[in-house]
Amino acid sequence: MDAERKQVVIVGGGFGGLEAAKALDGVDAAVTLIDRANYHLFQPLLYQVAMAGLSPADIASPIRGILADEPNVRVVLGDVTRVDLESRRIFVGDEPVAYDWLVLAVGAQTSYFGHDAWEAHAPGLKHIEDALEIRRRVLLAFERAEREPDAHARRKLLTFIVIGGGPTGVELAGAIAELGHYVLGRDFRSIDPREAKVVLIEAGPRILPSFSTSLGQSAVEQLQELGAEVRTGLRVVDIDAAGVDLESASSADGEASKRERIDSATVVWAAGVKANGLAQKLGVPTDKQGRVIVEDDCSLPGTPEVFAIGDMARFEEKGNVLPGVSPVAMQQARYVGKIIRWEVESVGRPPREPFSYFDKGSMATIGRSRAIAEARGVKMRGFIAWLAWLFIHIWYLIGFRNRVAVLLTWAWSYLSYKRGARLITSTGWKPESKP
């Protein structure tokens, strides 16, 4: 490395880290971006890989390729094990890397709220390997049902449970229902995949609580049109290889809670995330989800040269904690990039304006041609919301080839009701291997 130049280190190649690297294009400093994976993952479409609609390469782009035109940015594939705020060094494996500014953007991971044993039976959806594992389990369940003579066992194989009624859970439930009802329809001889039962479980009183009530209700109706069941007010008590134990949330009038069991061979977890483990190792205060509590300039308390952005950070603005969505990470990245550029080019450290989030709205899709969307008071549902969703997601997909490939793949599956990526492959997925 160039000892003369200032060093900026970015950890994480997600929406935040990548946007920070781009914001530092051409700055007179050596920028190093470090990630454990060699690709940027477009997470909003990961459920499509899980549901065999897309291939991993459609939604993932090599980070080196994305940053090839920025000669001041160096990309390192490696695992950041430790940050030494005192000596201003991070460690990639055992190798120290010095920084003048550090941008941490390591994101979040699936959280089982202390029940780590559930992971083996109910994978979450954070990595490509997760998506391929969920794909494998869902497709394999149909295959096993086709060969299963016993009616009860077949029923269990054709019951799919999605836990968590946020956008990811809704997208997964809709997509599994669609897979059974439309895609696999004619492919089997002994079973009718349309008999597949999809149950979406939410502990709270309603799904999609971040949307307005009427849109949440519309999502329920759209899920029901696809044949999925929505169950709210049910808390997960246990998950094993054969199903899920549930308990009704105790009602206000002191009614005793009821236990319930749903047999299912395939359970998917979309109920919670926590910050990546690196956040815990910084020695600064974190919240219940393990997120670093940052200042109003996204920096760590008392450490103005170190920033934490995106899902790993807890940023409070006017009493609201910003949600863990990609626009927050990207806006914070551009803000932080601007600060660093300013400080590289200045003498001393000029005063910083606080970060402010501009909320463009949010959306969730429910299978083919169904969705809800809400932006600054405007509500959309059904086909028009789905078109908006499609347009925005294709637009933000990184890499020209990916956009074209994804659009064509979707056009093909939309018109033909076929899915090319319905491959059952071994995935290298191991619960304990997860970060």
| Complete DSSP assignment for 2-71 | -SSSEEEEEE--SHHHHHHHHHTTT-SEEEEEEESSSEEE-GGGHHHHHTTSS-HHHHEEEHHHHTTT-T
Q: Is 60 an interacting residue with respect to its own copies (CB under 8 A)?
A: yes
- Which of 20, 42, 58, 159: binder of its own copies (CB under 8 A)? 58
Whichever of 4 and 253 has its CB closer to its own copies, that residue is 4
CB atoms within 10 A of CB 240: 13
The stretch near its own copies (CB under 8 A) out of 33-41, 203-211, 216-224, 242-250 is 33-41
402 binds its own copies (CB under 8 A): yes
Residue-wise DSSP of 325-382:
-HHHHHHHHHHHHHHHHHHHHSSS----PPP------EEEE-STT-EEEEETTEEEEH
d(CA 285, CA 222) in angstroms, rounded, equals 42
Q: Which of 19, 148, 171, 343 is catalytic?
A: 171
CB burial string 68-106: b at 16+ within 10 A, e below: eebebbbbeebebeebebeebbbebeeeebebbbbbbbb
**57 binding its own copies? (CB under 8 A):** yes
The verdict on whether 133 is a catalytic residue reads: no
Q: Which of 76, 237, 321, 392 binds its own copies (CB under 8 A)?
A: 76
47 touches its own copies (CB under 8 A) = no
- Any idea what the Cα angle at residue 310 is, between residues 171 and 90, rounded to 5°? 130
Sign of CA dihedral 285, 290, 295, 298: positive
**Per-residue contact string for residues 347-386; x = within reach of its own copies by CB under 8 A:** ----------------------------------------
In whole angstroms, the minimum distance from the beta carbon of 286 to its own copies comes to: 29
Shortest distance, position 360 Cβ to its own copies, whole Å: 28
181-200 residues near its own copies, rule: CB under 8 A: 184, 186-190
Instruction: Tell me: does residue 4 bind its own copies (CB under 8 A).
Output: no
Only segment of 117-125, 281-289, 354-362, 419-427 that touches its own copies (CB under 8 A): 419-427
Local structure of residue 286 (DSSP, 8 states): B
Catalytically active residues are 171
Contact residues for its own copies, defined by CB under 8 A: 37-39, 55-58, 60-62, 64-65, 68-69, 71, 74-78, 92, 95, 128-129, 139-140, 143, 146-147, 184, 186-190, 399-402, 404-405, 408-409, 412-413, 416, 418-429, 433
